[in-house]
A = this chain, B = another copy of it.
Amino acid sequence: MSAALRTPPRLAPDTLRVTPLGGLGDIGRNMAALEVDGQILLIDCGVLFPEDDHPGVDLILPGFEVIADRLDDVVGLVLTHGHEDHIGAVPYLLRQRRDIPLIGSRLTLALVREKLREHRLRDTEYRTVEDGQRVTFGAFDLEFIAVNHSIPDALAVFVRTAAGTVLHTGDFKMDQLPLDGRITDLRAFARLGEEGVDLLMVDSTNAEVPGFTTPERDIAPALERVFARSTQRLIVACFASHVHRVQQVLDAAVSHGRKVVYVGRSMVRNMKVASDLGYLHVPGNTLIELKDIENHRPEDVVIISTGSQGEPLSALSRMANREHPVIDLERGDTVVLASSLIPGNENAVYRVINGLAKLGATVVHKGNAMVHVSGHASAGELLYCYNILRPRNVMPVHGEVRHLIANGALAEATGVPADRVVLAEDGTVVDLARGRARVVGQVDCGYIFVDGSTVGDVSETALTDRRILGEEGFISVVAVVNTRSGRLISGPDIHARGFHEDATVFDPVAGQITRALEDALGDGVTDTQRLQQVIRRTIGRWVNTSYRRRPMIVPTVVTV
């Protein structure tokens, strides 16, 4: 693996070019571009949620800037399922070309529609497909295969072209007893394997996890225990897209005679979509509105809430901090976090758990009960896939480097030759010709930051500044000088934020700066840049020696 940019050659005839534009090296911003005969098919267009090394950034987009000048050649965008890391960046792509056909299952496109409405994007073109269906978009003949995941209606896509075939699994696992009976279609995988899969692009998320992912329905007993023991208010937090998890809570609620309240904007919105389309089955008069919750005794209601990752503004965090306008937790209440703990969120989640515990609530989470199972295939399931599909070439996708490498090792273990396992990263250009995949180049596929209402304006420099400011704060020094008279007219005015409260700490250095400026002016220095340099050096040296700190220094010299 190497990120050194190498311009790929012109695309040869009878060659299928595959370029991952995101999701290889991170879990997030999943996107891939397939090109043949000058036509491009896109698969997924998701966001990456930034971590602490990208302060203030709201979202990170895939590297679709590299195809910005090719958007007219795009015949369609396949969306494998409705998770944010697969559909979240669609609005930002469509801003560049509104009428790219969006291809996906009913639920997936319904969730996309809600998202585009919020972004005020209209006149978009939807092509609803279902598993088993086969449709042609330009040079690409697509067949969709049912896969099981932590959101309903997920699809894998098999792409037939004149230059070769690609199977992209999307996100999947192989739960053999899913709630909706919709299993990953291994019969189809077998048939496609017989036909010939030139390149398999396969989910790597759990490739490091040995064995098999536990079936979703196996959390029912733990949920049942919680409902049976809980004699007061009961809150279950989970992902707002996890329809089957919510279904299990609904079923338990009905059997224990509790009404259900959805809390959290995305939970309310998604569950309405899911039940309108029949993916979620809600028995009559089970639901009540949050505003009516006072009309029911706490022990007659279960609250299904967002915030399972400790998001500070979520309903759950506000409950833990006693800041929720409606729900006031009491000793003996029960809170279930029926969700994974995404790496990087530990502090936030444990802060919420400690807050809830301090209020006297019983907190049930994956650490102390079986209330969550993963949505991704573990190593054992991936081995089944490799053996059923027997792909000619494999490109592990959807994972950090460690996951991609582990997945590649599984492929090799099933007999895929090492030189047919393509360990690519974002921007790696892979050409597929005569059943052989080869890395032919590397294009720039850097992060694009969404920050407030701006896209791409925030640079690494700005982020570096934020890191310094966030660690050390800053000191601003303002001085007014008359360059003709060579006199310091006003200042230095010294203000600091995030460094030290007490302004008097700067008294000793103020005199030093005055002297340094007067010396410089005396030497005939008139350039404000150089005078600001004098200020920076003087106070920088002082703060470093007397405080062993390096706050950002912002000198402003005004000449009048």
- Chain B contacts for A357, CB-based, 8 A: 401-402, 405
* Residues B462 and A358 in contact, CB atoms below 8 Å apart: no
* Residues B347 and A343 in contact, CB atoms below 8 Å apart: yes
Asked whether A495 is an interface residue with its Cβ less than 8 Å from the other chain, the reply is: yes
CA distance A367 to B343 in the complex (A): 13
Q: Quick one: which of A491-518 are within 8 Å of B by CB? A: 491, 493, 495, 497-502
Query: Given A402-B357, A471-B470: A478 and B556 within 8 A (CB)?
Result: yes
Q: How many residues in A have their beta carbons less than 8 Å from beta carbons of B?
A: 67
Asked whether A68 is an interface residue with its Cβ less than 8 Å from the other chain, the reply is: no
* Residues A493 and B549 in contact, CB atoms below 8 Å apart: no
Asked whether A179 is an interface residue with its Cβ less than 8 Å from the other chain, the reply is: no
CA distance A469 to B472 in the complex (A): 10
CA distance A294 to B452 in the complex (A): 52
A497 interface neighbour in B402, B474, B489, B548, Cβ under 8 Å: B474
Contact with B along A359-370 (1 / 0, CB 8 A): 000010001100
- Chain B contacts for A498, CB-based, 8 A: 56, 462-463, 465-466, 469
* Residues B554 and A476 in contact, CB atoms below 8 Å apart: yes
A401 interface neighbour in B354, B489, B546, Cβ under 8 Å: B354
CA distance A470 to B471 in the complex (A): 7
* Residues B501 and A462 in contact, CB atoms below 8 Å apart: yes
Q: Which of A115-123, A196-204, A453-461 contacts B (4 or more CB under 8 A)?
A: A453-461
Name A500's closest neighbour in chain B (CB-CB).
B457
Name A549's closest neighbour in chain B (CB-CB).
B452
- Number of copies of this chain in the oligomer? 2
Asked whether A53 is an interface residue with its Cβ less than 8 Å from the other chain, the reply is: yes
Asked whether A480 is an interface residue with its Cβ less than 8 Å from the other chain, the reply is: yes
* Residues B358 and A499 in contact, CB atoms below 8 Å apart: no
Q: Quick one: which of A400-425 are within 8 Å of B by CB? A: 400-402, 405
Name A556's closest neighbour in chain B (CB-CB).
B478
- Chain B contacts for A461, CB-based, 8 A: 501
Asked whether A560 is an interface residue with its Cβ less than 8 Å from the other chain, the reply is: yes
Q: How far is the CB of A503 from chain B (nearest CB, A)?
A: 13
* Residues B347 and A52 in contact, CB atoms below 8 Å apart: yes
- Chain B contacts for A367, CB-based, 8 A: 208
CA distance A1 to B491 in the complex (A): 51
A469 interface neighbour in B350, B368, B466, Cβ under 8 Å: B466
* Residues A476 and B473 in contact, CB atoms below 8 Å apart: no
- Chain B contacts for A457, CB-based, 8 A: 500-502
CA distance A465 to B472 in the complex (A): 10
- Chain B contacts for A453, CB-based, 8 A: 546-549
Among A353, A469, A491, A497, residue most surrounded by chain B Cβ atoms (within 10 Å): A469
Asked whether A78 is an interface residue with its Cβ less than 8 Å from the other chain, the reply is: no
Asked whether A79 is an interface residue with its Cβ less than 8 Å from the other chain, the reply is: no
CA distance A400 to B493 in the complex (A): 44
Asked whether A125 is an interface residue with its Cβ less than 8 Å from the other chain, the reply is: no
* Closest 4 pairs between A and B when the two form their complex, measured CB to CB: A470-B470, A469-B469, A465-B498, A56-B471
Enumerate chain A interface residues (CB-CB to B < 8 A): 1, 25, 51-53, 55-56, 208, 343-344, 346-347, 350, 353-354, 357-358, 363, 367-368, 400-402, 405, 451-454, 457-459, 461-463, 465-467, 469-474, 476, 478, 480, 489-491, 493, 495, 497-502, 546-549, 552, 554, 556, 558-560
Could you name 5 residue pairs across A and B whose Cβ atoms are closer than 8 Å? A56-B470, A56-B498, A462-B498, A466-B471, A495-B556
6 extra interface residue pairs, beta carbon distance < 8 Å, beyond A208-B367, A459-B501: A51-B347, A52-B52, A346-B346, A451-B549, A453-B547, A469-B469
